[in-house]
Amino acid sequence: MAAWGERLAGVRGVLLDISGVLYDGGEGGGAAIAGSVEAVARLKRSRLKVRFCTNESQKSRADLVGLLRRLGFDVSEGEVTAPAPAACLILKQRGLRPHLLVHDGVRSEFDQIDTSNPNCVVIADAGEGFSYQNMNKAFQVLMELENPVLFSLGKGRYYKETSGLMLDVGPYMKALEYACGIEAEVVGKPSPEFFKSALQEMGVEAHEAIMIGDDIVGDVGGAQRYGMRALQVRTGKFRPSDEHHPEVKADGYVDNLAEAVDLLLQHADK
């Protein structure tokens, strides 16, 4: 593999995944990953542009930012690209009224959306909300529609909480796709539109940007397909087998965000 200097040359902007990179969720809100609070602070003091790009769909942006600030991170709502607000934009543009299968914590993001007489379904990481009854209701709504439209806020397979691995929205998206014989529209990583928004909001071109995430497919593969570079951290949901993934090869693997920031501050934007 080329030297870090070569791999990171010309990077001007950094997109940071949140869960598994900044912190691991769990009891009492979760815990910051060692070194990440300082790493974010150093990055923000540098000449590099920084933006947070998350598939978090259990919490509203306000709640997520509140949690991160309590853990010591310097982050504000305006710096976060998240799927629920992106979905609301799409729903409004297309005049769609969703049936929501989402966590109560994110419901407030949809306050301005008409959910009467639904003509589509939106699913997000609903956690315990993914009961048989709720899944069956979403399924029945889709089967009643002439042209069933399903939006999924991300399609992650699982994430890591302090207590262990937890199923994410992706498996439930696959379940509804199979049940109804349809394909969902993904809002969030690895959708190209989502990376496009985050880069526009950061004001950096894809070839000048790098994604740092713990998900080899959603973060690394998605960013690379959009023309960005991407590093995988060995925290969060990272598993050793990720470094031999059959389809995706990161531009680099680092132990954690702190190491990624060390390398970026040494080699980027040169």
Q: Residue 243: how many CB atoms within 10 A of its CB?
A: 13
- Strands 185-187 and 150-153, bridge-based pairing: parallel
147 is a contact residue toward a copy of itself (CB under 8 A): no
According to the binding rule CB under 8 A, does residue 110 interact with a copy of itself?
A: no
- Cβ 149 to a copy of itself, closest distance in Å? 17
Which of 74, 79, 177, 262 is in the footprint of a copy of itself by CB under 8 A? 177
One-letter identity of residue 82: A
Closer Cβ to a copy of itself, 73 or 130, answer by number: 130
Question: Tokens 């049940």 map to which residue?
Answer: 179
Q: Is the omega angle on the peptide bond into residue 190 within 30 degrees of 0, that is, cis?
A: yes
Residues 242/232, Cβ–Cβ less than 8 Å: yes
Judge whether 235 is annotated as a binding position: no
Quick check: 175 binds a copy of itself (CB under 8 A)? yes
18 is in an annotated binding site: yes
CB of 184 to a copy of itself, least distance (A): 12
91/126 with CB nearer a copy of itself? 126
Helix (H) or strand (E) holding 14: strand 13-16
**Residue among 139 and 238 whose Cβ is closer to a copy of itself:** 139
Closer CB to a copy of itself, residue 127 or residue 227? Answer: 127
Intra-chain end-to-end CA distance of the chain, in Å: 19
Q: According to the binding rule CB under 8 A, does residue 136 interact with a copy of itself?
A: yes
Residues 6 or more apart whose Cβ sits within 8 Å of residue 67: 23, 29, 30, 59
Binding site for a copy of itself (CB under 8 A): 126-133, 135-136, 139-140, 143, 157-158, 164-168, 170-172, 174-181
